[in-house]
Amino acid sequence: MDIQILGAHNCESHKLRLTSLLIDEVLAVDAGSLTSSLSFEAQQKLKAVLLTHQHYDHIRDIPAISMNFYLAKATINIYSIQSVYDALANYLLNGELYPKFFEKPEDKPTIRFTVIEPGKSEQVAGYSILAVPVKHGVPTVGYQVTSADGKSVFYTGDSGPGLSDCWKCIFPQLLIAEVTASDKFKEPAGNGGHLTPTLLKQELIIFRELKGYLPRVVTVHMSPGLEAEIEAEITTVAAELNSSITLAYEGMLIHL
Ligand SMILES: [Zn+2]
Ligand SMILES: [Zn+2]
C-alpha cells in the first residue's frame, strides 16, 4: 500500500494544502486538496473518495472535482456519513452555489454517494473500509483502510481526546493522526475536538495499553504558524514513548 499525503495542514497557501490522503492512486480520504494536488488524469483514476466530516477544509474540493468528472461524463464515488451528504446537498451542491451533482445529469448523476454505517466493514474499491466515530464538534468518523494483502492504515480525521473506544475497533500498521495545535493551546484544542502533542501522547498510551503495540504515527492537519512548536513537542513525545512519530508534509510518500 502506497499512501501519498496530498495535504497535511489545516490552512492553505501556495505551498501548503488542506488535508487529503491518496492511497495507491485510487482511493482518496478527505477532499481538502484533491483538485489542487492532482492532474485531471490522476483525478480520473480515483475509484472512491471517503470523507470524514462536513467541515469545509475536508470537503473543499468536492464541488471542483465533481465539475471535472461532470465534464468528463464520469461518475465519482463518494462515501461518508449522512451529515456530510446533507451539508454538501444543502449548502454547496444545491443548485445555487454550484450544480446539484447528486442529481445531474438526470440519466447518470455525477456523484454516486453511499452513506456508510460506522462500525460496519465495507468493501470499497477493493479495500476493506471501517468507519469509526471519533471526537469532534460535528459528527466525524475516522477510517481504517485495509488492502487485500493485509496492509492497514487508520486516519483519525479531525478528533479531540477520548479515542479509547475507537482504538478498540482498529488494528493498523500506520496511524495518521491529526495534531492541530501545540501544547500551549492544549485546553482550547482539546475542547474544540483537536489534538496537541501531549493530548496525542495520552491517546497513544491508551492505545498501547489496549492493543499491546504502537503503530508508526504520522501527524496531519497542523496549523502552519504552530508547526515548529508542534514538531519540537512531537519529537519529545516520540522519545518518551520510544516510538516513530513524525509530521507529514505535502507530497510525503509512505509505503506499507
Ligand atoms: Zn473539523
Ligand atoms: Zn479540519
Sole residue written with cell 479509547 = 164
Residue 62 to residue 124: CA distance in whole angstroms: 18
Q: What is the DSSP letter of 41?
A: H
HSE of 10 in the Cβ direction (CA atoms, 13 Å)? Answer: 20
pTM reported for the whole predicted model = 0.98
Strand partners, 245: 217
Specify whether the backbone of 85 is left (phi greater than 0), alpha (psi in -120 to 50) or beta.
alpha
Give CA–CA dist 187/46, Å, rounded.
Answer: 38
Looking at the CA of 83, name the nearest ligand. Answer: 1
Check residue 93 and give its pLDDT.
98
pLDDT digits (tens, 9 = 90+) for 49-87: 999 999 999 999 999 999 999 999 999 999 999 999 999
What confidence score (pLDDT) does residue 4 get? 98
CA angle 43, 108, 77 (to 5 degrees): 40
Ligand 2 (ion): residues with CB under 5 Å are 55, 57, 158
Q: Once rounded to an integer, what is the mean pLDDT over residues 141-152?
A: 98
Q: What's the pLDDT at 130? A: 98
The share of the chain scoring above pLDDT 70, in percent, equals 100
Ligand 2: distance of its center to the CA of 56 in Å? 7
Cα(138) to centroid(ligand 1), Å = 7
Answer yes or no: are the C-beta atoms of 189 and 226 closer than 8 Å: no
Q: Using the mean position of ligand 1's atoms as its centre, give its distance from the Cα of residue 158 in Å.
A: 5
Q: What is the identity of the amino acid at 104? A: K
30: left (phi over 0), alpha (psi -120 to 50) or beta: left
Ligand with smallest separation from the Cα of 10: 2
Ligand 2: distance of its center to the CA of 198 in Å? 19
CB atoms within 5 A of ion ligand 1 belong to: 55, 158
Q: Which of 248, 206, 197 is nearest to 29 (CA)?
A: 248
What are the pLDDT digits (tens) for 164-185? 999 999 999 999 999 999 999 9
DSSP 8-state secondary structure symbol assigned to residue 91: I
**Hey, CA dihedral for 192, 198, 200, 206, is it positive or negative?**
negative
C-alpha to C-alpha distance for 20 and 114, rounded to whole angstroms: 19
Q: How much of the chain is in helix, strand and coil states, percent to nearest 5?
A: 30, 25, 45
